[in-house]
Amino acid sequence: MTARSILQVFDQYQKARLLFVQSIADLASKSSNVDCLEAAGVIDLLHPLLVDTVPSIQHLAAIALGKLANHNPRLAHAIIRKDVLSHLLQHIDKQNKFYKKAALFVLRAIAKHSPELALIVVHNDGLQTIVKCLEDFDPGIKEAAAWALGYIARHNKNLAQAAVDANAIPLLVLCLQEPELYIKQIGASAISDISKHSIELAQIVVDAGAIFFLAKTLQSNVDAKAKRQVLLALSSIAKHSADLAEAVIEAEIFQDILAHMAHPDENVSKIAAILTREICKHTFELAQLVVNNGGIAALIELISTSKSATRLPAIMALGYIAGHSDQLAVAIIRSEGIVQLAVILQEETDDHILAVTVWAIGQIGKYTTEHAKAVAIANLLSKLLELYNDPISSEDLKAKCYTALKQILQNCMYIEALESLLHDVPPNILKYVLGQFSKILPVDARARKLFVTSGGLRKVQEIQAEPGTTLSEYITIINSCFPEEIVRYYSPGYPDSLLEAVEQYQPKHLFVFNHKSSENIEASL
């Protein structure tokens, strides 16, 4: 056999290997093929190809393994048991950029499923490899490394701390300074994944100068994906403390944040509202800053134009703002915030959104009689009671309805709204309604008349209250505001007792009237 014939055999073998890994990489893209590939022993066949003499075969074998690991944690564990990681990362610094990106993809695909798998990647020197790749000159390798790092750090505080200890933060901040937009985006995402876990981790990110470059990216002409990641990173920093929120504010981007609440991309507007919420929740001063910069109008506009989950953080932000002081709650009322929240209670069916909305209403109406009246005029007390009594409402929603009703009713002096709550109200809420009537009726004659004509007094007499309870004391105070015969008249069974008394009544003198007696009477006159 000639040398040419022998080389042709080797050439065919190489082409066959290349065709095999290309086909497996394509097949592994579809989840429907995964079980069949696993049953055929695909991992055992791909494993030796990671150290193949042909770089393109190594590269495609790594991609195929990454796609398999990406589908489910069982396959990720199977790849680890075959000791793939040690072969994958061996001499990676000497590999070409295509192999490095494929190897980083495998690390990301394994680490994404659980903290346990991410920790295995770390223990197999995966984190050190990722950080080294962050220093690479190739933008694609930096992107893949930042992506893998984020998937490890997002699971918990310990894994995020491991990334910090590996000196990843300065390299991620450098990613924010790269000209390529996709590197900025993934770098911001990884920073968010690290800083979200604790105030200490967020402070390390801030000390590394990340806020300045995040703000600069937000203010530049970047696409919606990059804006989302930047806003999310800033939110992950601001949420931990007032000092960190102030650090974000000091970047002078708050007007940009408010403007992004009107962004056409729903995810951008939602995360802008999340960042606003994380800023205003800490202190009265930060909430006042949001209000002074037109934050209430921007939040209400987002609530009115968005649906469901998109407007949830805006609703929460209004609740936080109102919770800081009565003046800020008034600002929300004057901006028609109560009206918009009432619309949500009518339109929304999601229990979680309803619960947050109810909580925000309670924060607004809890301060004074005027705050409570604004809520009552919008007919929200009846709606809160309806949600509380609804058997399909979640326990969380019912609890928030009860708290909001309690907070508002203790300040409500709007008798028309209180009247509507007297009927079909559970005893634990009824006591707050009667408590307000016990304050109003002794000093308001018009209210006393209305209370009688509307059936309120009759309803009170029907209530069975244990002697000595708060409810019993309120009933006694209310009854003392009316004449005893009126109270007795509206007591249960009193009309029947009157009719019975009429039937049983016997006149004391029977006077027989006739014509003669009539004449005698006339003569005497």
Give yes or no for a contact between 341 and 360, defined as CB atoms under 8 angstroms apart: yes
Q: Are residues 408 and 472 in the same domain?
A: no
**Mean of pLDDT values over 476-483:** 91
Q: Is residue 473 part of a domain?
A: yes
**Mean of pLDDT values over 75-84:** 92
Number of domains in the chain: 3
Q: Is residue 99 part of a domain?
A: no
Q: Is the pLDDT of residue 498 over 60?
A: no
Q: Are residues 248 and 330 in the same domain?
A: yes
Residue range 112-171, pLDDT digits in tens: 999 999 999 999 999 999 999 999 999 999 999 999 999 999 999 999 999 999 999 999
Q: Which residues fall within 8 angstroms of residue 481, CB to CB, at 6 or more apart?
A: 441, 442, 448
CATH number for position 304: 1.25.10.10
Rounded Cα distance between 142 and 139, Å, is: 5
Q: Which residues fall within 8 angstroms of residue 418, CB to CB, at 6 or more apart?
A: 409, 412, 433, 436, 437, 440
Looking at residue 93, its pLDDT comes to 85
Q: Are residues 263 and 359 in the same domain?
A: no
Q: Is residue 28 part of a domain?
A: no
The pTM (predicted TM-score) of the whole model is: 0.86
Q: Is the pLDDT of residue 260 over 50?
A: yes
Rounded Cα distance between 497 and 488, Å, is: 11
Q: Are residues 355 and 445 in the same domain?
A: no
Looking at residue 1, its pLDDT comes to 66
**Mean of pLDDT values over 52-60:** 91
Q: Are residues 357 and 253 in the same domain?
A: no
Quickly count: other Cβ atoms within 10 Å of residue 521's Cβ.
10
Q: Is residue 121 part of a domain?
A: no
Q: Which residues fall within 8 angstroms of residue 290, CB to CB, at 6 or more apart?
A: 254, 276, 279, 280, 296, 317, 321
Looking at residue 249, its pLDDT comes to 94
Q: Are residues 292 and 303 in the same domain?
A: yes
* Closest to 300 (Cα-Cα) out of 282, 323, 317, 324: 317
Amino acid identity, position 490: Y
| Residue that is last in its domain, among 315, 334, 353 | 334
**Of 485 and 180, the one with more pLDDT:** 180
**Mean of pLDDT values over 415-428:** 85
Please give, one letter per residue, the 3-state secondary structure of 91-111: CHHHCCHHHHHHHHHHHHHHH
Q: Is the pLDDT of residue 239 over 60?
A: yes
Looking at residue 525, its pLDDT comes to 39
Q: Is residue 250 part of a domain?
A: yes
Q: Is the pLDDT of residue 214 over 50?
A: yes
Q: Are residues 316 and 353 in the same domain?
A: no
Q: Are residues 239 and 315 in the same domain?
A: yes
Amino acid identity, position 461: Q
Q: Residue 224 sits in which domain range?
A: 220-334
Q: Are residues 343 and 322 in the same domain?
A: no
| Residue that is last in its domain, among 317, 334, 351 | 334
Q: Are residues 329 and 346 in the same domain?
A: no
Q: Are residues 318 and 378 in the same domain?
A: no
Q: Helix (H, G, I), strand (E, B), or coil: what is residue 222?
A: coil
Return mean pLDDT, the chain: 90
| Residue that is last in its domain, among 412, 445, 464 | 412
Give yes or no for a contact between 437 and 418, defined as CB atoms under 8 angstroms apart: yes
Q: Are residues 448 and 397 in the same domain?
A: no
Q: Which residues fall within 8 angstroms of residue 513, CB to CB, at 6 or more apart?
A: none
